[in-house]
Chains A and B, each alone.
Chain A
Amino acid sequence: MSYLLMKSITKTFPGVIANDNIDLEVAQGSIHALLGENGAGKSTLMKILYGIYTPEEGRIFFNGQEIRVPNPRAAIRLGIGMVHQEFHLVPSLTVSENIALGYELTRNGLVDRKTQRRRIEEVIEPFGFKLPLEKAIADLPVGVQQQVEIIKLLYRKAELLILDEPTSVLTPQEVDNLFGVLQNLREQGKTIIYITHKLREVKKICDFATILRRGRVVGRVRVADVTERELANLMVGEQVIDYIFPRSRQVGEKKLILERVSAVDDRGILALKDVTFSVNAGEIVGVAGVQGSGQSELVEVISGLRHPAKGKIWLNGKDITRSSPRQRREIGLAIIPEKRKEQGLNLNTNVVENVISTRYYKSPFSRWLTLFERPAEKFAQRIVSEFSISMSSLKSKVENLSGGNQQKVIAGREMIEQPDVLIAAYPTRGLDVSAAQFVRETMIRRRDQGGAILLISADLDELFAVSDRILILYEGQIVGETNPDETSFEKVGLLMTGHFHAS
C-alpha cells in the first residue's frame, strides 16, 4: 500500500477544471516531484492535500487510512506540512518564536524560552541544522527563512512535507543548501513532495515525478529513467496544430526597440536583466516563458508603469524611456494588460466609459472641460459591432459581461484605432475557443495592416500559431529566439525551463 494516495481528485473553479481525475501516488521516504507548467494544477492539488481546498471528487489515503482534510490545522495534525512560496513567518519574531508559534511552552504565564529552545534543538539536531534561534526572522536571508519554515513543520511532527516552488526565491548557493537539507530529511525517513517546473532540479534531487498538464496527469516516472528532454516533452505536450495562420508577408521597420533593459520588481529583486529585442511593423513577436520569468515587469516597463533601472526603449523611433504612459499611447502604443479586471477594465461602470478611458481627453470626445456623450456612445457602438460584443445594453455595467466579452471590450478599445504597436499580455486567458480565436484573428489582421505586436502568452499552441518569431524569457533574460516553423514545442519547452543546450 502506498504511503500517500490521492485518488480520482477533481477540482473545478468557475470556468476551469483545475484538477481532472488525478491520481497521485507517493512512496514513503522519497522525494517526489510534482511537475508541470503554471496552470497545470500542481498547486491546487497540494492545496487540497493541505486542506485549503476541498475537491469535488476523490479520496485521499495516507498511511493506510482514508483521511479528510478540512483545513490546514487538520493537515498538520495528520502529519502533513506545507511550505508555501510566500513564507508564513512573522518578521519581528525570532526564529524560535516562529517555530513555536501556536505551540508555545509556558511557565507562570510567560513563555518558557529555555525549555522551548531545548525542545527545538532536540528536533533539529538529527538534521544537522545550524540556526541562530534568537535572531529575528526579518534579519535573516531568505534561504535561512525557508529552513525555519521547514523546521516549523518538523517541530509540529510532520512526516510528509510539501514544498511549493521552493527555489523560486533562492540564490544558487542557497539552492544547494536546500538540497542538502532535503537529502538529510529523506535519510531521516521523511517524505517530500516537491512542486516545481524546473527540470534541472527534478533531475538533481527527486526520485520520482508525476507530470501534470492542463489539470491531468500525463506521466509518472522514475526520474533516473528519463532525460530532461523527455520530461520537457511531457510538460508541454505534443505539438497540436489544429489551426495556423499564414505568416507575415511583409516585415517593415523596427517599431519597438528594447535595449539592455533591466528592471526591479516590487520586492526589490531584479526581474529583467539586460533585455534586448525589437518588434517590427508587420510582425507578431511572441514571448514564451513560465510565469514569474519577468513577463509582468516587461509589460509594465514598456507601458511606462515601471521605471527600468537600466536601458532604453524606443517606440516609433522616439526614445520613450522617460515618457509617461499617456505619452507612449500618443506615440502609438496600445496595451492589453495582463489582468483583465484589475488593470483593463472598470467593472463598476458601463462599456462606453470603459472604451474611452484612453482617449476621453481628445476630440471628438471632449473639448475644453466638457465630455460629450454622443461621440463616446457612437464610438462604443462601433467597437461593439466590429468586435461582436454581446450585451444587453451599452449602459449595463461591464462586470455583468462574460469574461470573453469583457476581453473583447479591452481588445476593441485598444485595437480599433490601428495602433502602431500593440502589447498583448495573455489576451486569450480564460476565453472560450471562439472568443480566443476572434482575438487571434484580430491580431493577425492588425499585423497584416502593418502593426507591430508583442504577444505574451502561456499557451504554446497560441504562440506557435500566431507568432512570426518567438522569444523565450527565463528568469528575466531572453534566452532564445526561434522561428516557430523551424522549432518544436520540446525545444522551446527546454528553454522555458532553464535548459540551455537546445540544439
Chain B
Amino acid sequence: MQAELPHLDPATSQINVEDSAEQIPSAILSLSRMLLTLIIALLMGALVIWISGKNPVEAYRALLQASLGSRTAIANSLLAATPILFTGMAAAIAFRAGIFNVGVEGSLYLGGFAAAWVGFTFTTLPPLLIIPLSLLTAGIVGGAWCYFPAILRSRLQVDELVTTILLNHVAILFTEYLVNGPFLVPGLANAMSPQISESARLPRLLPPSQLNASFLFALLAALFTIYLMTRTKFGYEIRMVGDNAQFARWSGINVVSVIEKVMVFGGIFGGLAGAGQVMGVHYRFIAGFSSGLAFTGITVALLVRNSPLGVLLASLLFGMLRSGSATMEIMTDVPRDLIRVLEATIIFFAAIEFSNLLWRRHREH
C-alpha cells in the first residue's frame, strides 16, 4: 500500500466553490442553500433537545434572548464573534484556494501566548507601544507556525490537512508546557501565565460586557479580507488557484507562492485571534482557552462557501450562538454543548453539498 495520503488537488478540491459575491441569481441560490443548511442544523438541534426531554422552543427562545435581548447581550455576542471573525476569514481564504488549512488553532495558541509574553515581559512600555508590539508578535508567531506545513505542501506536496491537525496538538502541548513550566505562576489552580501589564490590555467598549477593542480589530481584519478577496491581485490569484490550479500555473501564476501566502495569512489571523482573547478578555494566557475557536471558524467558512462577506455575517451569527448558549443553559438546562452539535451538523451537510455540486458539474461536461 502507499503510505501516502490521497492528495487533494486544489483543482478538483471539493471544498472550495464559487465566490458567492457574483451575479444576483447565483447569490440568491447560495443564500438559500446556506439558510437551508442552517435550518436543518437547527432542526437537528431541536431534535437533540427534544430527545433529552427539554423544550426546543423554550431553548431557542432563551438563546435568542440571551444573544440579542439587551445591550449587554448584543455586546457579548459581538465579543464571542471576535475570534471567530479572525478564524473564519483564515479558513475561508485557505479553502478558497483549495487548501485545507486546519492549523489555525495552533497559531491561535502560539500567537496568544506570544501576545501574553510581550504583555507580561515588557511591563514598562506604554499602551501605544505595547499593544501594537503584542499584536505584531502574535501575528508573526502565528504566521510562522503555519509556514512550516505551508512549504511542506507547496514544495513537497505533503498533505496539509494531516500535518496541520497534528501540529495543532504540538502547539497546544507546547503552550501548555510553557505555562506549566517556565512561566508557571505558582499557587493557581489552572495553568496560566502571569498577567499582562495594564498598558497591554485592550480597552473595554461597553461595560459590563467584556467586549473590547479586539472586536474593532477583527472587524477591520474582516473588511480588509473582503477587500483583499474582491479587489486585489492576491485575491484574484487565490480564486484562480482555487478554481483551477493547472490553469493558474499555465497562465504564469506562481501557485507555490499563493499556497504559502494563503496558509501564512491564516496563521497570522489565528495569532491575532489568540492575541485578542489574551489582551482583551483574559489578560493572561490560559491553557486550553480556545474551545475550538478555529474549528468554529472552519464551520463558518464552510457554511458560507468561503465568501468573505458571508464569513462576516456568519461569524456574528455564531458569536450569538456561542454567547447565548451559556445563558440558555442556565435558563433552560439545555447544555451549551448543543452549539457543537449544531456546528457538526452544518459541517456535515456542507460536506455533502459540495460534492453534489461537483458531481453536477461533472455531469455537464
List residues of chain A with CB under 8 Å of any chain B CB: 92, 303, 305, 324-326, 328-329, 335, 337, 341-349, 353, 356-358, 360-361, 366, 369-371, 395, 399
Question: Given A348-B243, A366-B232, list of 18 further CB < 8 A pairs?
Answer: A303-B250, A324-B254, A325-B249, A325-B252, A326-B253, A328-B252, A341-B365, A342-B11, A342-B247, A345-B244, A345-B247, A346-B244, A348-B244, A349-B243, A353-B236, A366-B233, A369-B234, A399-B364
CB pair B23 A369 closer than 8 Å: no
Q: Does B129 contact A (CB under 8 A)?
A: no
Question: B363: which A residues are within 8 A, CB to CB?
Answer: none
Contact check, A343 vs B232: say whether CB atoms are below 8 A apart: no
Q: Which residues of the partner chain B approach A361 to less than 8 Å between Cβ atoms? A: 233
Decide if B5 is an interface residue (CB 8 Å cutoff). no
Taking CB atoms, residues of chain B closer than 8 Å to A303 are 250
Q: Judging by beta carbons under 8 Å apart, are B231 and A370 in contact?
A: yes
- Nearest residue, chain A, Cβ from B252: A326
Bound complex: CA A369 to CA B231 (Å): 8
* B18 at interface, CB cutoff 8 A: yes
Asked whether any CB of chain A lies closer than 8 Å to the CB of B1, the reply is yes
Contacts A92-B1, A342-B244, A357-B247; A326 near B232 (Cβ below 8 A): no
Q: Which of A346, A347, A353, A371 contacts B232 (CB 8 A)?
A: A371
Residues of B within 8 A of A345 (CB): 244, 247
Q: In the complex the two chains form, is B252's CB within 8 Å of A358's CB?
A: yes
Q: How far is the CB of A305 from chain B (nearest CB, A)?
A: 6
| A357 touching B249, Cβ below 8 Å | no
Q: In the complex, are the beta carbons of B240 and A346 less than 8 A apart?
A: yes
Sample of 13 A–B contacts (CB below 8 Å): A92-B1, A303-B250, A325-B249, A325-B250, A326-B254, A337-B250, A343-B246, A344-B250, A348-B18, A353-B236, A371-B232, A371-B235, A395-B23
CB pair A346–B233 under 8 Å, yes or no, is no
With the chains together, A342 CA to B9 CA distance in Å? 13
Interface pair A357/B251, CB less than 8 Å apart: yes
A324 and B253 alpha carbons, distance in the complex (Å): 10
B15-32 interface code vs A (CB 8 A; 1 in, 0 out): 000100001000000000
By secondary structure, the B interface counts as helix
Chain B 18-72 interface residues, beta-carbon cutoff 8 Å to A: 18, 23
Question: CB-defined interface of B337-365 with A at 8 Å, one 1/0 digit per residue?
Answer: 00000000000000000000000000011
Within the complex, what minimum Cβ distance (angstroms) separates B11 from chain A?
Answer: 8
**CB neighbours of B234 from chain A (8 A):** 369
B239 within 8 A of A: yes
Which 8 pairs, one residue from A and one from B, show the smallest C-beta to C-beta distance? A326-B252, A357-B251, A348-B243, A325-B252, A369-B232, A343-B250, A346-B243, A346-B244
**Residues of B contacting A346 with CB < 8 Å?**
240, 243-244, 247-248
- Identify the interface centre among B1, B244, B249, B364: most chain A CB within 10 Å of its CB: B244
Q: Can you name the residue of chain A whose Cβ is closest to the Cβ of B248?
A: A357
Interface 0/1 of B297-313, CB less than 8 Å to A: 00000000000000000
Q: Cβ of A370 and Cβ of B250 under 8 Å apart?
A: no
Most chain A CB neighbours (cut-off 10 Å) among B228, B232, B252? B252
A360 touches B233 (CB 8 A): yes
The minimal Cβ–Cβ distance linking A415 to chain B, given in whole angstroms, is 15
Is the pair B18, A342 in contact by a Cβ cutoff of 8 Å? Answer: no
Partner of A305, one of B232, B249, B364: B249
Nearest CB of chain A from residue B317's CB, rounded to whole Å: 27
Partner of A369, one of B18, B233, B251: B233
What A residues does B244 contact at CB under 8 A? 342, 345-348
**A342–B246 CB distance below 8 A:** yes
Q: Give Cα A296 to B235, complex, Å.
A: 30
- Give the distance in Å from the alpha carbon of A24 to the alpha carbon of B248 in the complex: 45
Q: Name the CB-closest residue of A to B230.
A: A371
**Nearest-Cβ distance from residue A336 to partner chain B, whole angstroms:** 10
How far, in whole Å, are A342 and B365 apart by their CA atoms in the complex?
A: 12
B247 touches A360 (CB 8 A): no
- Whether A305 contacts B250 in the complex (CB less than 8 A), given A361-B233, A371-B236, comes out as yes
Q: Chain B: which residue is nearest A369 at the CB level?
A: B232
Does A349 contact B250, Cβ atoms closer than 8 Å? no
**Residues of A contacting B18 in the complex (Cβ-Cβ under 8 angstroms):** 348
- Distance in Å from the Cβ of B247 to the closest Cβ of chain A? 5
A361 to B237: give the CA distance in the assembly, Å: 10
Query: Which residues of B (229-284) have their CB < 8 Å from a CB of A?
Result: 231-236, 239-240, 243-244, 246-254
Give bound CA distance, A460 to B1, whole Å. 45
Give min CB distance, A344 to chain B, whole Å: 7
Proximity bits, B215-239, A CB within 8 Å = 1, else 0: 0000000000000100111111001
Residues of the A chain whose Cβ atoms lie less than 8 Å from the Cβ of B253:
326, 357
Give min CB distance, B17 to chain A, whole Å.
8
In the bound complex, residues from chain B placing their C-beta under 8 Å from that of A349 are 239-240, 243
Contacts of B232 in A (CB 8 A): 366, 369-371
Write out the residue numbers on chain A whose beta carbons fall within 8 Å of the beta carbon of B254.
324, 326
Give every chain A residue within 8 A of B249 (Cβ-Cβ): 305, 325
- How far, in angstroms, from A376 to B137 measured CA to CA in the complex? 38
Which of A92, A303, A328, A371 has its CB near the most chain B CB atoms (within 10 A)?
A371
Chain B residues with CB under 8 A of A92: 1
Do B247 and A344 touch (CB < 8 A)? yes
Cα A356 to Cα B233 with chains together (Å): 11
Residues of A within 8 A of B247 (CB): 342-346, 357
* Chain A residues in 8 Å Cβ range of B248: 346, 357
Give the most central of A347, A357, A360, A366: most B CB within 10 Å. Answer: A357
Nearest CB in chain B: distance from A330 CB, A:
9
Residue of A nearest to B247 (CB): A346
Q: Which of B231, B234, B247, B250 has the most CB of A within 10 A?
A: B250
Residues of A close to B235: CB separation below 8 A: 371
Alpha-carbon separation in the docked complex, A335 to B233 (Å): 22
Residues of B within 8 A of A343 (CB): 246-247, 250
For B128-162 the 0/1 string (1 means CB < 8 A from A) is 00000000000000000000000000000000000
The residues of A that contact B231 with a CB separation of less than 8 Å are 370-371
Q: Is A353 a contact partner of B240 (Cβ separation < 8 A)?
A: yes
Residue in chain B with minimal CB distance to A354 = B247
Give Cα A357–Cα B228 distance, bound, in whole angstroms.
17
User: A347–B18 Cα gap in the complex (Å)?
Assistant: 11
Measured CA separation A332–B247 after assembly (Å): 19
